[in-house]
């Protein structure tokens, strides 16, 4: 795959996007990250690792090379979560309604991940995002933050059946 002669990454199942993008980054093949999803991937790393916010691709690549394979599983999971946040914010800010959203500056912001503002009323709402189909994980978040709305992948809210859990615009397959 690194030589580009085995598969076309665009045709792969989406669950490999973040791990393969990370492999491309670590290998130094930066040209393959030039598209819109590659940019979102890199921006998600910069969001998650604030010390890398102004770093070049080379510096980010070097930083990622320090992680063991076991640690990289967690890194990839956290980057995937940030990518989900960026996808939700991008969709909300481009859907033509009066709502605009933004990601909080600090990674792992307590209680909420994004802020959605209503341009008509000026009111803002904190929203928790969960890029997961794990009902137990979502219910645990509800117990921890009982008054905070949660957006989950499309089709997951009905499994949780709670008024503060709403489907997002993307299925888990699309997020992957």
pLDDT per residue over 72-105, tens digit each?
A: 989 998 898 888 888 889 988 998 999 999 987 7
Neighbours of 60 (CB within 10 A): 18
Q: In this structure, are residues 93 and 101 in contact, taking their beta carbons and an 8 Å threshold? A: yes
**Tens digits of residue pLDDT in 22-57:** 999 999 999 999 988 899 999 999 988 989 999 999
Q: Is 106 left (phi over 0), alpha (psi -120 to 50) or beta?
A: beta
Output 66-73 pairs: Cβ under 8 A, ≥24 positions apart: 72/22
pLDDT digits (tens, 9 = 90+) for 111-137: 888 899 999 999 998 899 888 899 999
| Separation between Cα atoms, residue 130 and residue 83, nearest integer Å | 11
**The predicted structure's pLDDT at residue 72:** 93
Distance from C-alpha of 141 to C-alpha of 130, rounded to nearest angstrom = 9
Q: pLDDT grade, residue 58 (50/70/90)? A: very high
Contacts of residue 11, Cβ cutoff 8 Å, sequence gap at least 6: none
Distance CA 157, CA 166 (A): 5
Helix (H, G, I), strand (E, B) or coil at 39: helix
How big is the chain by its Cα radius of gyration, in Å? 17
pTM: 0.75
The residue that leads in pLDDT, 109 or 113, is 113
Question: How confident is the model at residue 170, as a pLDDT?
Answer: 82
């Amino acid at each position: 795959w690194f030589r580009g002669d085995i598969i076309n990454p665009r045709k792969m199942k989406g669950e490999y996007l973040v791990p393969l993008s990370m492999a491309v980054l670590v290998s130094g093949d930066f040209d393959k990250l030039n598209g819109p999803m590659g940019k979102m991937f890199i921006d998600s790393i910069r969001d998650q690792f604030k010390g890398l916010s102004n770093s070049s691709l080379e510096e980010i690549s070097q930083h990622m090379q320090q992680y063991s394979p076991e640690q990289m599983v967690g890194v990839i999971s956290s980057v995937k979560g940030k990518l989900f946040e960026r996808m939700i914010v991008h969709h909300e800010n481009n859907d033509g309604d009066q709502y605009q959203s933004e990601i909080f500056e600090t990674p792992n912001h307590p209680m909420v991940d994004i802020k959605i503002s209503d341009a008509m009323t000026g009111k803002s709402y904190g929203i928790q995002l969960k890029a997961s189909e794990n009902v137990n994980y979502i219910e645990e978040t509800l117990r921890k933050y009982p008054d905070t709305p949660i957006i989950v992948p499309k089709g997951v809210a009905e499994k949780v059946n709670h008024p503060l859990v709403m489907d997002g615009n993307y299925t888990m397959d699309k997020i992957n």
